[in-house]
Amino acid sequence: MAKLEPSKLQPRGRKVKILATTGPATQDPEVLRALFLAGADAFRVNMSHGEHAMHAQTIANIRTLEKEFNRPIAILADLQGPKLRVGKFADGRAVIPHGGAFTFDRSSEPGDATRVELPHPEIFDVAQVGQRLLVNDGKMRFRVVEVAGDTIRCKAEVGGVISDRKGVNVPDAEIPIPALTDKDRRDLAFAMDQGADWIGLSFVQRPDDLAEARKLMGNRGSLCAKIEKPSAIRRLAEIIEMADGIMVARGDLGVELNPEEVPPLQKKIVNMTRLTGKPVIVATQMLESMIESPAPTRAEVSDVANAVYDGADAVMLSAETAAGAWPEEAVLMMAAIARQVEQDEDYKSRVRMLDTPSEATTADALAHACMTIADTVRLSAIAVFTFSGSSARRVSRERPAVPVIVLTPNIAVARRVALLWGAHPVATRDIGSFEEMVAKCKRMALRHGFGGPGSRLAVMAGVPFGQPGATNLVHVVTVQGDELESYSAEGLLS
């Protein structure tokens, strides 16, 4: 593959971001590079699979891409979370007939067609008659008919083959287990040491689940709560408030809920998160057939398109890029779908159907003003100077008609905002004066391919400079042709 000069890497031509999962299919650095060039804006490292050494090499390869293309890339380390599983069977498996009786108990004896160990006392504490126990990603469904001490007797509403260590879901109860296992704590410490930008917290049930992860993270990285439990839906507003971002993890959510319940819930989660300005990711089975096929189904294309129309910040590829036969093609397809949707003349009105009222702050008012200016005056981009990323989130929340160049002296912030809708992060040295701000804004717009001579930009910043939280200025500038300096060889901070 021919090397692409960093200065020749053009803007993505879309505002929704693509989060690609790494795995065996991306171990070759050239494959990872191909995914980035195809359109991946961020990468997910799945801590459920693989050793730390493999993940460390993957993260190092991503950081090499950053340096090569001078573009911050977000890395999301996705923790496995607590897994509920049955015990083992004498023959490794058993066949349970539809309507048959079956018991889950605390005995460590190998199971058979009548019973198996369920080594999770927390389930016995909350189990009640009438509740469901789902096994093997919901392929088998049991209804509790009796709870007596260390036994849960059930009727197999949907039988089938059950085998060793299959997963169990309990959709009708909130299980009193911590969100972090010992493995998760080790993985979280590793991810922080490796400089991961986002941590994905699995199987969140309640706002308190985020507290321990937040404490272990300190001031490093951002926390993304994965919504995949019905109990999380019941306290969704509180969880969104506690998290830095949200992932609609439709895989497990679709196991514990009826399939027809998931689409409206997806829209509800996206809308509630968008109101806060925090990034929301739609994930799982988006282009699933592309694990084996070079082309998606029409239904999958519509699924991705609907997430883009709903205004999600990012759409995610899982096994398609982690272990699939066509990882680059999957990214190219997702990018093509997003571009096509965003070129729809009705896209702007549809993505703004959600009313995102500004808070009574100067920064919110100015963010809204930037959106209005972009609708009224022909702009090539909005440039936002930010220390924490909050101003960038405010502007992104408005879903402006033009891209948002996010200028920050903090490389960690630049990487984190790479998941924001419409954001093009640039790590740059701090500014000290109004004139320097205007000059840098023009220079970076030209350098990164946003407009040319004669194009106009709206600049949002705070005066005096160098004070976080002081956003109080919007300024429209015109770019001149002689303002582009030679490409900086100084790396990510230029």
Positions annotated as catalytic residues are: 44, 85, 226, 284
Q: 239: which DSSP letter?
A: H
Question: Are 251 and 271 in contact, with CB atoms under 8 Å apart?
Answer: no
CB 407 within 8 A of CB 383: yes
Residues 6+ apart with CB under 8 A from 413: 386, 387, 388, 389, 425
Q: Are 399 and 421 in contact (CB under 8 A)?
A: yes
Question: What is the spatial distance between Cα 24 and Cα 325, in angstroms, rounded to a whole number?
Answer: 11
Residue bearing tokens 């699979």: 49
Integer Cα distance of 386 and 395 in angstroms: 11
Q: 476 with 459: CB under 8 angstroms?
A: yes
Q: Which residues pair with 152 in a beta bridge?
A: 104, 147
243 burial (CB, 10 Å; 0-12 / 13-18 / 19+) is buried
Are 456 and 478 in contact by the 8 Å Cβ rule? The answer is yes
* Residue at 366: amino acid letter: L
Interior CA angle at 355 toward 352 and 356, to 5°? 100
